Chain A
Amino acid sequence: MSSALSLHFADICVGQSLPALREQVTTSSIVASAIATRDFHPIHHDLERVRELGHSALFLNIFASNAYVERFVSQWAGPEARLSKSSIRLGAPCYAGSTLRIEGTVSNVGEVPVRWVEVEIRAYGNEAVHASGLVRLEWP
C-alpha cells in the first residue's frame, strides 16, 4: 500500500473511479479471516456442514467483507482519511476459489462540517454481486 502518499482532498471529484481491489479467496484465507474476526460459525470453516446447508464451498464472513471494503477505500484515501460510515447491502456469498473484486466511484463530496467524500462501492465474488453500498470518509 502506498501509505506514505496521502490523497489530496482537492483532487477528488464526483465520478472518479478508485483503483480496484482484487483478492484471491481461498479456504485458507476464509479460515484465517474467521479466526481473526472471531467468527466461529461452522459455515466459515466446516466444509461438511457447509455442504449440508446446500453450498459447494466455504464462504467469506461478513466481518471479512467489511475488512476488505475498508482496505479498498483506505488504500485509495490514505491514512489521513477516517472511515465514518458505511451502508452495505449483502448479496451472493463469496466462495472459496473465487476472486473478490471491489470497485468504487466517488458519488458525493462536501466540506461541511468537515471535508468528506462518499464512495459507492460494489464487491463481486467472481461475477456475482457480493456486496454493494455507500462508504463515507472524513478528513480532519
Chain B
Amino acid sequence: MSVNAQSGDWLSRIQARLDQPYARVLACDPVNPSMIRHWCEAHGVDDPRYRGDVGESSDAKLLAPPSMLQVWLQPGPSGWRPEGSAQVDATEIIRLFGEGGYTGLVGVNVDQEFVRYLRPDERLYSVSTLVSVSDRKVTGLGEGYFFTVRQDVFTQDDEKVAVLHFRQLCYVPRESS
C-alpha cells in the first residue's frame, strides 16, 4: 500500500490546522420543542423534562435532551448554514485526508461534557479545533491516521454549554490499496 507515502501537500495542510480554531458555525435553528419532540419520538424517549411537564407550572420548564447537542449544529441536506456562519469547520480534515487517498472514515471515540441542559430559544454556535493527528498506523481496516477534533459549544451569549471530543480514523480502504 503506497498511497502518497511521500505524504504530499495534504498532510502538511492538515498539520498546519493543529490547534487553530475554525471560525464559528451557527446552528440552523434555535433549540425548539418540535425538533425535541421529533427526536424523542424517533428514539422512544418519554421523559417529562422534554415535554415540559416537570414541576407545577409547565411553562418554561421544557429542556432539551443533552444527546441532541450536535443535532442543533448539523447542516441540512443542502448544506445550508445561516448568514454569518462559517461554511468550513474541522470536518474539512476528512476532505484533506481524502485528497491523500485516505477515503475510508470511521468514528472511534466520542467524549461529551454537558455543562447544563439547554432550553427552547437558545441559539448555539460551535468552534471546532483539530487537537491531534497520529503518525500513520496500520489498523485492521487498513493503513490510516487517527485524529481528534474538539468542538466547544456556546449559546448566543457566549456561555460555554458543552465540550465534545471526537476521535476518528481516516484509512485507505482495502479495495483501493
> Hey, which bits of chain A sit against chain B, CB under 8 A?
1, 3, 23, 29, 32-33, 35-40, 54, 62-64, 66-71, 74, 79, 82-90
- Going nearest first, the 5 A-B pairs with the smallest beta carbon separation are A36-B42, A38-B74, A67-B43, A40-B77, A70-B67
Q: Which chain B residues lie closer than 8 Å to A54 at the CB level?
A: 175
A84 CA to B117 CA, complexed, in Å: 9
Are the C-beta atoms of B39 and A79 separated by less than 8 Å?
Answer: no
Given A74-B47, A88-B109, A89-B109, are A35 and B42 neighbors across the interface (CB < 8 Å)? yes
Tell me whether chain B's interface is mostly helix, strand or loop, or mixed: mixed
* Residues of chain A contacted by B65 (CB below 8 angstroms): 67, 70
Is A37 a contact partner of B39 (Cβ separation < 8 A)?
Answer: yes
Tell whether, in the assembled complex, residue B111 and residue A71 are in contact, meaning their CB atoms are under 8 Å apart: no
Give CA–CA (A84, B111) in the complex, Å: 11
Cβ contacts under 8 Å, B75 to chain A: 38
In the complex formed, the residue of B with least CB distance to A89 is: B109
Give the shortest distance, in Å, between A65 (CB) and chain B (any CB).
9
Interface residues on B, range: 35 or more
Given known A3-B47, A83-B114, A89-B108, contact A66–B41 (CB-CB < 8 A): no
Residue pairs across A and B with Cβ atoms less than 8 A apart, 21 shown, are A23-B44, A35-B38, A36-B41, A37-B39, A37-B71, A37-B74, A38-B71, A38-B75, A38-B76, A63-B67, A63-B71, A64-B42, A67-B65, A70-B66, A71-B45, A79-B54, A82-B114, A83-B114, A85-B111, A88-B109, A88-B110
Interface flags for B43-87 (1: CB within 8 Å of A; 0: not) read: 111111100001000000000011110110011110000000000
Q: Mark B104-140, 1 if CB is under 8 A from A, else 0.
A: 0011111111101100000000000000000000000
Minimum Cβ distance to chain A for residue B143 (Å): 17
- Known A-B contacts A83-B114, A85-B113; the reply to A64 vs B43 at CB < 8 A is yes
- Beyond A79-B48, A85-B114, 12 additional pairs, beta carbon < 8 A: A3-B47, A32-B41, A36-B41, A37-B70, A38-B76, A63-B67, A64-B43, A79-B47, A82-B114, A84-B114, A87-B110, A88-B111
Question: Which residues of chain B are near A68, meaning CB under 8 Å?
Answer: 43
A67 to B43, CA, bound (A): 7
Q: How far is the CA of A29 from the CA of B41 in the complex (A)?
A: 10
Given A79-B47, A84-B114, A85-B114, verify A33-B42 contact (CB < 8 Å).
yes
Q: Please state if A3 and B114 are interface contacts (CB–CB under 8 Å).
A: no
Write the chain B residue with the least CB distance to A31: B42
Which residues of the partner chain A approach B113 to less than 8 Å between Cβ atoms? 84-85
B45 near A67 with CB under 8 A, answer yes
Docked Cα-Cα span, A40 to B77, in Å, equals 6
| Most chain A CB within a 10 A radius of its CB, from B42, B44, B113, B175 | B42
Which residue of the partner chain B has the closest CB to A93?
A: B106
